[in-house]
């Protein structure tokens, strides 16, 4: 897919690049992203199920179009603001809101349906179903309901054998709503790093969702959608029998946490933060850069993994990792670059003014610090487009 539009043409003519872009700034390697999308799309297609990408990571119409180049397709969101944005700006109408419904937000969910969105909301209690039913009373179009299933104790939802599962389904129907299906997320897979353990997590995720669906069907409820998904299990699933769709989000960009789990290589990570060296402290083994936690986020998701990447892995301007160099500490607008503890390497001579890129621990958290992606193609330093990101709830 090639870039089109007046903005892209203007950028190419004016010639901004990673040397002239003010730092810190969020950079997206479009080629790496496209490879990541193609990889998971092929895997999921091989299972014969639908990929419903979770756009909580990207929060960008332009990025979403790399997944659905032929027009809007099914998506997942984590906020109603995301649902409104993708519907309004991109024409996306098949949307699953995969966070437990706050009853106070029920009227807003109904309003999305009134605007033509086929919205499915997630809940786990009869009280949530009643609140949604009340908000939708008399509405010509109503949100459908996904009941959240807890497959691994990581977060919310009902276990597949919880008697409340059928009770919630009854409450959904009694509220005048349609039960669309069940939804689960193997969040505990983020604590793993062994291929067999990840495959087992995917197996358990599938079995939990399929079991819950069968329980509902045996009790007389239709359950057409069986939705599973996390980026690790999506890549390591061997059997998706009984599943109709897979949700994953960070697979588009990947990050150092996914690398530590074993889902991707460092060279697959498509997002980085452009930064500039602003000082050196050789006696302390420090190099100071202008990307602190305001640019990188406070996320320390690799701290419990086998390799602690600090606040991010430091790369040259082409995106090549500089050995054991990491952002070891982060203040609001200062990053302190140092060699990873235990490294035998020598601190490189990086003079003030040199440009670097930092690969993030958590792409979602780092992306949330920025308003737009500055898009490059592979190792080129040329900025070929700027893709805005949405924010808010």
What DSSP line would sit under 271-334, residue for residue?
EEEEEEEEEEEGGGTEEEES--HHHH-S--TTTTSSS--TT-EEE-TTS-EEEEEEEEEE-SS-
Q: At 5, is the pLDDT very low, low, confident or very high (cuts 50, 70, 90)? A: very low
Q: Which two tokens stand for residue 149?
A: 């299933």
For tokens 């901004």, the residue is: 16
Give residue 239's region: left, alpha or beta (phi > 0; psi -120 to 50). beta
Average pLDDT over residues 298-321: 97
Q: How many helices (H) and strands (E) does the chain have?
A: 12, 17
Q: Tell me the CA end-to-end span of the chain in Å, nearest whole number.
A: 31
Average pLDDT over residues 89-113: 98
- Tell me the domain boundaries of the chain: 31-254, 266-388
Q: What is the CATH number of domain 266-388?
A: 2.40.37.20
Task: Calculate the average pLDDT of the chain.
Answer: 96
| Residue environment code for 183-198, b if the CB has 16+ CB neighbours within 10 A, otherwise e | bbbbbbbbebbeeebb
List the 225-228 sheet strands across, edge first. 50-51, 245-246, 225-228, 179-184, 144-149, 118-123, 94-100, 75-77
Which pLDDT belongs to residue 339? 98
Query: For the chain, how many residues are written?
Result: 393
**182: phi then psi, degrees, rounded to nearest 5:** -125, 155
Which pLDDT belongs to residue 14? 56
Which pLDDT belongs to residue 91? 98
The pTM assigned to this predicted structure is 0.95
From the centroid of its chain, how far is CA 104? 25
For tokens 């606040």, the residue is: 311
Residue 327 near residue 312 (C-beta atoms within 8 A): yes
Cα-trace Rg, the chain = 22
CA distance 123 to 129: 7
Which pLDDT belongs to residue 159? 98
Q: Would the pLDDT of 8 be above 50?
A: no
CA distances from 166 to 145, 160, 179, 385 (A): 13, 10, 11, 49
For tokens 């190792």, the residue is: 379
Q: Would the pLDDT of 4 be above 60?
A: no
* Per-residue pLDDT tens over the stretch 161-210: 999 999 999 999 999 999 999 999 999 999 999 999 999 999 999 999 99
The yes-or-no answer to whether 31-254 and 266-388 have a common fold is no
Q: If we measure between CA atoms, which residue out of 309, 278, 254 comes closest to residue 37?
A: 254
* Per-residue pLDDT tens over the stretch 249-307: 999 999 999 999 999 999 999 999 999 999 999 999 999 999 999 999 999 999 999 99
Q: Would the pLDDT of 224 be above 70?
A: yes
Q: Which two tokens stand for residue 201?
A: 């997590």
CA distance 373 to 385: 8
Helices 164-174 + 126-135 axis angle, to 10: 10
* Per-residue pLDDT tens over the stretch 33-43: 999 999 999 99
Q: If we measure between CA atoms, which residue out of 227, 240, 233 comes closest to residue 188?
A: 233
Q: Which two tokens stand for residue 87?
A: 């519907």
From the centroid of its chain, how far is CA 278? 31
Q: SS3 sequence, 201-257?
A: HHHHHHHHHHHHHHHHHHCCCCCCEEEECCHHHHHHCCCCCCCCEECCCHHHCCCHH
Which pLDDT belongs to residue 9? 44
Q: Would the pLDDT of 157 be above 70?
A: yes
Which pLDDT belongs to residue 156? 95
Average pLDDT over residues 105-123: 98
Which pLDDT belongs to residue 7? 47
CATH class in words for 31-254? alpha beta
What DSSP line would sit under 102-171, residue for residue?
PGGGHHHHHHHHHTT-EEEEEE-SHHHHHHHHHHTTT-SS--EEEEEE-SSSSSSSB-TT-THHHHHHHH
- Other C-beta atoms within 10 Å of 81: how many? 15
Residue 145 near residue 120 (C-beta atoms within 8 A): yes
pLDDT above 90 covers what percent of the chain? 96
CA distance 82 to 65: 15
């Amino acid at each position: 897919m090639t870039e089109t539009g007046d903005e892209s043409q203007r950028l190419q003519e004016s010639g901004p690049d990673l040397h002239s872009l003010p730092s810190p700034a969020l950079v997206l390697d479009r080629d790496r992203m496209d490879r990541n999308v193609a990889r998971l799309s092929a895997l999921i297609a091989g299972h014969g199920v639908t990929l419903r990408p979770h756009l909580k990571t990207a929060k960008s119409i332009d990025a979403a179009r790399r997944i659905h180049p032929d027009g809007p397709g099914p998506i997942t969101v984590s906020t109603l603001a995301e649902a409104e944005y993708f519907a309004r700006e991109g024409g996306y109408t098949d949307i699953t809101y995969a966070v437990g419904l706050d009853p106070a937000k029920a009227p807003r969910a109904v309003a999305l349906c009134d605007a033509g969105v086929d919205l499915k909301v997630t809940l786990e209690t009869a009280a949530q179903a009643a609140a949604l039913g009340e908000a939708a009373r008399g509405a010509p179009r109503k949100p459908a309901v996904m009941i959240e299933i807890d497959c691994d104790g990581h977060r919310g939802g009902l276990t597949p054998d919880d008697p409340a599962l059928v009770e919630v389904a009854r409450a959904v129907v009694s509220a005048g709503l349609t039960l669309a299906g069940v939804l689960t997320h193997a969040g505990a897979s983020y604590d793993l790093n062994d291929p067999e353990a990840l495959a087992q997590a995917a197996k358990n995720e599938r079995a939990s969702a399929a079991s819950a669906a069968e329980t509902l069907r045996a009790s007389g409820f239709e359950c057409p959608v069986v939705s599973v998904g996390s980026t690790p299990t999506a890549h390591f699933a061997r059997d998706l029998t009984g599943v109709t769709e897979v949700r994953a989000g960070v697979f588009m960009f990947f990050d150092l946490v996914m690398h530590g789990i074993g889902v991707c290589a460092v060279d697959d990570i498509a997002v980085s933060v452009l930064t500039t060296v602003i000082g050196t402290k050789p006696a302390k083994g420090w190099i100071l850069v202008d990307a602190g936690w305001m640019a990188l986020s406070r996320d320390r998701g690799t701290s419990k993994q086998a390799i602690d990447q600090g606040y991010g892995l430091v790369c040259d301007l082409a995106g090549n990792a500089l050995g054991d160099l990491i952002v070891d500490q982060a203040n609001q607008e200062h990053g302190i670059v140092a060699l990873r503890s235990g490294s035998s390497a020598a601190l490189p001579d990086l003079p003030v003014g040199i440009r670097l890129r930092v690969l993030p621990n958590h792409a979602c958290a780092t992306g949330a610090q920025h308003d737009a992606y500055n898009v490059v193609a592979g190792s080129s330093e040329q900025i070929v487009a700027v893709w805005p990101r949405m924010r808010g709830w």
